[in-house]
């Protein structure tokens, strides 16, 4: 129960509850210690296409004195070559982007960084150590949500933002009006593209998981790229994601 309340407090803090008391930005020497905050969620997601496992994402979400840090590693499975990518998303106490870093470790070497530049976002990336660095500014606010390819934990963070912004807390529980919908701006750094996204609360649904049937919260995330359905348990942790019409499913291990 304590972990549920801590996660609930974290969800509310993502939106506005900590705005008035947010700590100043860390100095360079402090940044490397941010992951020493409280662990809010960690684990792994198995990625399945047509029933076959094609990848695994291992992730951790920490609440720190400065906001939160979401770290992730994605590896392909059952493929001729193993693709390994990592990412780290740093958010302020109000859920704004402080820094997003992506790296490809195998089979190639590439990296990308998104940081705020005054009131908007700026991305720098290169396809390899010897490749030219590219830069692209975006007329997007710092409140934009990162939804990068291969990192499904970003959708969990967006689900928490939706719960915190559109629902209310009542006796330790999140209460959402049925069919409650909200709009978010998103950025996909891999695609160098941004798009609006709508999130909607669809009630509760019984879902068969590897540990048996569970009664879960159901959300839907929709944009021009497709429709995702998410199922969360009562600790607000995503247990399953599904891409409608794509035979792609993501299950918590």
**Quick one: average pLDDT of 57-75?**
95
Residues 6+ apart with CB under 8 A from 179: 200, 201, 202
Tens of pLDDT, residues 91-142? 998 899 999 999 999 998 999 999 999 889 999 999 888 889 999 999 999 9
- Tell me what the pLDDT averaged over the chain comes to: 86
Q: What phi and psi, each to the nearest 5 degrees, are found at residue 25?
A: -65, 145
The rounded Cα 138 to chain-centroid distance in angstroms is: 20
| pLDDT in the model for residue 128 | 84
For residue 114, count other CB atoms closer than 10 A to its CB.
Answer: 24
E strand intervals along the chain: 38-49, 52-64, 67-76, 84-92, 97-106, 110-117, 120-126, 134-138, 145-146, 168-170, 173-175, 181-188, 193-209, 212-223, 226-232, 238-243, 248-252
The whole-angstrom separation of Cα 94 and Cα 143 is 8
The pLDDT > 70 percentage for the chain reads 84
* Nearest of 212, 210, 187 to residue 197 by alpha carbon: 187
| pLDDT in the model for residue 166 | 81
pLDDT at 199 > cutoff 80: yes
**Quick one: average pLDDT of 180-190?**
94
**Quick one: average pLDDT of 62-70?**
92
**Quick one: average pLDDT of 188-210?**
95
Which stretch of 28-37, 48-57, 58-67 has the lowest confidence by average pLDDT? 28-37
* Nearest of 152, 30, 34, 12 to residue 95 by alpha carbon: 12
| pLDDT in the model for residue 33 | 52
Helix (H, G, I), strand (E, B) or coil at 75: strand
Task: Determine how β-strand 181-188 pairs with β-strand 145-146.
Answer: parallel
The pLDDT > 90 percentage for the chain reads 66
| pLDDT in the model for residue 70 | 97
- Give the confidence band of 7 by pLDDT, cuts at 50, 70, 90: low
Of 178 and 50, more confident = 50
The whole-angstrom separation of Cα 39 and Cα 204 is 26
Positive or negative torsion for Cα 140, 35, 158, 2 = negative
**Quick one: average pLDDT of 10-24?**
43
Return the domain boundaries, the chain: 2-18+35-252
- Give the confidence band of 10 by pLDDT, cuts at 50, 70, 90: low
| pLDDT in the model for residue 173 | 65
CATH topology of domain 2-18+35-252: outer membrane lipoprotein receptor (LolB), chain A (2.50.20)
* Nearest of 156, 219, 145, 225 to residue 185 by alpha carbon: 145
Q: What is the pTM of this model?
A: 0.86
């Amino acid at each position: 129960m304590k972990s549920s309340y801590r996660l609930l407090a974290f969800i509310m803090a993502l939106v506005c509850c900590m705005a008035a008391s947010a700590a100043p930005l860390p100095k360079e020497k402090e940044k490397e210690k941010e992951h020493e905050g409280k662990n809010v969620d960690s684990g792994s997601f198995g990625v399945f296409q047509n029933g076959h496992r094609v990848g695994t994402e291992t992730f951790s979400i920490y609440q720190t004195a400065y906001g939160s840090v979401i770290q992730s590693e994605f590896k392909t499975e059952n493929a001729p070559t193993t693709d390994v990518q990592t990412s780290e998303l740093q958010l302020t106490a109000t859920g704004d982007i402080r820094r997003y870093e992506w790296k490809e470790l195998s089979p190639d070497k590439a990296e990308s960084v998104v940081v705020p530049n005054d009131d908007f976002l700026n991305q720098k990336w290169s396809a390899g150590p010897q490749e030219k660095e590219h830069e692209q500014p975006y007329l997007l606010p710092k409140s934009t949500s990162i939804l990068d390819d291969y990192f499904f934990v970003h959708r969990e963070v967006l689900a928490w933002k939706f719960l915190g912004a559109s629902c209310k807390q009542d006796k330790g529980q999140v209460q959402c009006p049925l069919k409650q919908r909200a709009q978010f701006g998103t950025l996909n750094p891999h695609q160098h593209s941004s798009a609006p996204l709508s999130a909607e609360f669809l009630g509760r649904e019984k879902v068969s998981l590897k540990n048996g049937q569970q009664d879960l919260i159901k959300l839907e995330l929709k944009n021009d790229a497709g429709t995702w359905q998410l199922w969360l348990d009562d600790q607000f942790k995503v247990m399953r994601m599904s891409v409608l019409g794509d035979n792609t499913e993501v299950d918590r291990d």
